[in-house]
Amino acid sequence: MNTADHYQQLILAQQRLDLIQQYASDTSNSSRHLLELAIAELAGTLSELRGSAERLVDYREELQVTRHKAQLEHQRYRALFEFSSDGCLLSNERTIIQEINTVGAKLLNSSKPALIGKPFRLFVADQDFTTFRNQLNSLQLLPQLHRWTMHLKSQEGASFPVTVSVFPVRHQRRSVFLWIFKDMRNFEENETTLKKLASEQKLHKFKTNLLRNICHDIRTPLNSLSLAIAQLERSPQALEQRQQLHEKMRSAIAIAKQMLESVELFSYENEHKVFTLSVVEIEPFCQSIIWELQQLSPTQRNIQLTCNYQQQSICLNVRLVQQILKNLLSNALKYSDEASTVYLEVYSISNKVVFRIRDEGIGIPQQNQQYLFEPFFRGDNVQDTNGIGLGLTIVKKAVDLCCGEISFRSDVGVGTTFTVVLPINRPYDAFTP
């Protein structure tokens, strides 16, 4: 009997009560009093029942609304479950598959009916089965969201990486596990593609900066060379003036040549060739480098050479060692006061030659020292000084090509010391000049 039937019965009971009251009015006084008491009690009971019936109607309406909402939620859940872009399935505590969506069946390379009733653990790759079992035990002890990465395998046995999320839910008045597994194959491919793209973009930016900075640095000596040639062409000069102009031209050519050699050296990456060593007298070799740097300087700078090398001659690659010493000495001059002295010391240790360059300049901040040999890096305290940040990168490259070592120590406001140790009397694994 539904709520409406109960309500109808209450109406009929009220009608009977009215008839009883009419009958009671025709009876004797004593009987009438007893009937009136019974009728009053019955009327109260009927009133309470009427109120209960009304509340029951309200409850029924609320129940219908709640049931409708539950149906909508169930439909929404079914849509999310079925049309999810990830694999989804429901299983009991023993991982027996009770429901699975289309994506999940496709990932396991099977049909939905064929998967229902099978243990999900059968599709776990062998190398990850122990991890899967441990996670399942943990889930049963601690019923909350668990997430990890593992490999599943299709019915053919081909494994693929997935990220698994599993948590307990209520479904059809039962406690089940909802499994969501995301195929990571495309993610890994996309991640590889993005890394490759980022690397290519970084390389393109690096090449662009390199060319822009090289053009800027080469333009300066070329402009000086053009100016000197123009002066020679305009009018005859005195011998002394002509010599000065020739010296400017030689200096400009030397700077441009050094820049081009630096770029050539910087381009040496993964090739390996053995070059021929040259025998040079170490002290005159260092003196020639110092003289050249002093000629290029607008003011006569003081570079003090101390040569304690036991042998007069040494086998080395002239181009590489010139790049090392010129760049280190140029930096020492650039970042120290004009009145200060730059020191170059040469000595031997075992079967190695050591070049030590020390200045009394501005020094390198501690937070910058780990990045010192990176391309285009410039310290916080040299941003207002001309430079492109390639000198020390080229030095490091040349030292590596010589199979040598480079180290430094520096204090801000005190100065910097670079120590280069190179092997001697052996061919270096590097390029033929």
**Which pLDDT band, with edges at 50, 70 and 90, does 430 fall under?**
very low
CA-based nearest residue to 115, from 94, 136, 96: 96
Phi-psi sector, 108: left (phi>0), alpha (psi -120 to 50), beta = alpha
The domain tally of the chain equals 4
Domain's final residue, options 20, 46, 80: 80
- Answer whether 109's CB lies under 8 Å from 156's CB: yes
- Per-residue pLDDT of 120-178, as tens digits, reads 999 999 999 999 999 888 888 888 888 899 999 987 788 899 999 998 887 666 778 88
Question: How far apart (Å, rounded) are the C-alpha atoms in residues 274 and 94?
Answer: 66
Report the range of poorest mean pLDDT among 64-78, 123-137, 165-179, 383-397: 64-78
Question: How far apart (Å, rounded) are the C-alpha atoms in residues 262 and 319?
Answer: 10
Domain's final residue, options 265, 281, 298: 265
Domain residues for the domain of 120 are: 84-183
The first and second tokens of residue 88, run together, are 């989804």
- Answer whether 416's CB lies under 8 Å from 363's CB: yes
Q: Are residues 276 and 424 in the same domain?
A: yes
Q: Are residues 408 and 279 in the same domain?
A: yes
- Per-residue pLDDT of 337-352, as tens digits, reads 988 999 999 998 888 8
Q: How many Å is the Cα radius of gyration of the chain?
A: 46
Tokens 């990176």 belong to 374
Q: Are residues 347 and 379 in the same domain?
A: yes
Q: Are residues 115 and 173 in the same domain?
A: yes
Question: How far apart (Å, rounded) are the C-alpha atoms in residues 325 and 418?
Answer: 10
Report the range of poorest mean pLDDT among 198-212, 344-358, 363-377: 198-212
Q: Are residues 386 and 358 in the same domain?
A: yes
- Per-residue pLDDT of 12-55, as tens digits, reads 666 666 666 666 565 555 566 666 666 666 776 767 777 777 77
Q: Are residues 142 and 230 in the same domain?
A: no
The first and second tokens of residue 280, run together, are 């040079």
Q: Are residues 89 and 75 in the same domain?
A: no
CA-based nearest residue to 250, from 279, 229, 230, 233: 229
DSSP per residue, 296-349 = HSSS--EEEEEE--SSSEEEE-HHHHHHHHHHHHHHHHHTS-TTSEEEEEEEEE
- Do strands 302-307 and 341-349 pair parallel, antiparallel, or not at all (unpaired)? parallel
Q: Are residues 286 and 343 in the same domain?
A: yes
- Per-residue pLDDT of 96-123, as tens digits, reads 999 999 888 988 988 999 999 999 999 9
State the average pLDDT for the chain: 78
**Which pLDDT band, with edges at 50, 70 and 90, does 429 fall under?**
very low
Domain with 395 in it: what CATH number? 3.30.565.10
Q: Are residues 109 and 138 in the same domain?
A: yes
- Answer whether 101's CB lies under 8 Å from 84's CB: yes
Domain with 178 in it: what CATH number? 3.30.450.20
What number is the average pLDDT over the span 72-90?
A: 76
For the whole prediction, is pTM greater than 0.85? no
Domain's final residue, options 208, 235, 265: 265
CA dihedral 246, 248, 253, 256 (to 10 degrees): -170
- Answer whether 401's CB lies under 8 Å from 429's CB: yes
